Structure formats: C-alpha cells, structure tokens
Amino acid sequence: MPHSKAAPGPARHGKVWLLGAGPGAADLITVRGAHLLAQADVVLHDALVTDEMLALCPQAVKISVGKRSGQRSTAQAEINRQLVECAGQYQQVVRLKGGDPMLFGRADEELRALEAAGIEVEIVPGITAALAAAASAKLPLTRRGVARSVAFFTSSTAPGHPEETTLPDCDTLVQYMGGKEAIATARNLLARGEAPGLPVVVVENCSRANERIMHLDLSELERGLEACQGPVLVMIGAALAPRG
C-alpha cells in the first residue's frame, strides 16, 4: 500500500528586529541594540549608520538600504521586499535605523509588509536625534516656567504629497531634516508673530566627531543654512536661550 506524502508545513521565517541606532555615535546605541547586532545574521542599515556602528556586527551580512534626501536611494517598497526576503533566508534579521525606528523612521510601512508576510517583528528603541542634540548643546527642550511642550516635526512627506508647511504650535519646536527648509520655517514663524530674536540652535552631524553646533536667532535662520552639509536638526524656542 503506497504511503501518502505529508502536506508541506508552513514556510519557516526568521525574526526581524527594527533597531534604533541612535543619533550616530556608536557608543550611544542601547546595550540591547549592541547585543542584537553582535548576534545578527544580516543587517539592513541606513545611509547614516557609521562604520564604527557596523563594526559591532562583524559576523553579519551587511546590506545598505540608505535613504538620503535629494540623493539616489533605495525605494521603500524595495526595502520592504528585501526585509521579507531576508527573513526567509536568515534567522536573525536586523533593520538598523538611525535614531529611533518609531519617529520619522518609516516603521509603519515596514511593519505592514512584515506582518502581512507573517513574520515576527520586535522593535528596539534608540535615542532620537532631538534628545542627543539637546544634550550636545547643553540646553533643555523644556524649562520650568518657560517651556512645557515640545513638538518634533518634519516638512518631508510621502511621494506624491506636497510638503507640509503648517508648523506645530508648541513652546519648543524641533525640525528634523531641517536644513533645506530653514528659510521657509523661519518665515512661517515670523509671519505668525514670533519674535525675530527667538533663540535657535542648529546641530549638524549630531553626536559624531564632526558635530557642529550653531546658536542663532529666528532672523538669522531666515538667511538659510547653506553651509551645512551633514544631517541637520533645528531647535527653536525660548527654552534654548543661553543660561546667564
């Protein structure tokens, strides 16, 4: 009597971690993050992840899936496809994202793709650039009696959508990827009645060896930040006034 073949079981997938690399410096990644990198089979990393950070995972296959404003980059749909494909080939897949995955990190699209494919996902937070920039400048984003609300925002939107020009109404504003939008941001704030002397702190290449911190006011920000080449964070508000 012939034996019947058992039906094939479901395809086994590896697990994916969406891991926050932090603001840039390798020693600002979390202990959990460094531990996961040391165990990863493959790491799909952003363009801003440094060589020092990648040195934490010498055993892993490394795939660059960087996205940089104004430069040729990997489309998000292709990143999603590669994540699903890697989960079919490797047991421990790390998607290494600058800052924190859940803040301007396109985590929603990647989570949707992975969940639709039935792949297990875990999220490991990282230090977001705003907190690292405030620490580097030694100026708080909140200050008792001066500022009790903070907004993180960006003018960048999804492809096919116009850039967002409405600014949040908070005591302290932190604009991610704010270099090219500096003039427009300053003019929008001045037009709504903010004082030209409102303090502004610009941090370029936050936490890295080539970090640069600039102390301006709103009228100076209106002249633009053309001299900045690296990733730029713009912090605006009375809480950022120098102590004295």
Active site residue 51: no
Active site residue 138: no
Q: Residues 67, 102, 171, 214: which is the catalytic one?
A: 67
Q: Residues 46, 97, 100, 180: which is the catalytic one?
A: 46
Q: Residues 15, 177, 214, 217: which is the catalytic one?
A: 177
CA distances to 4, 34, 207 from 22, rounded to whole Å, are 54, 11, 9
From CA 80, how far away is CA 110, in angstroms rounded? 6
Active site residue 177: yes
DSSP state of 164: P
From CA 62, how far away is CA 113, in angstroms rounded? 21
CA atoms within 13 A on the CB side of 163: 12
Among 93, 91, 88, 38, residue whose Cα is nearest residue 65: 93
Which residues are tagged catalytic? 46, 67, 177
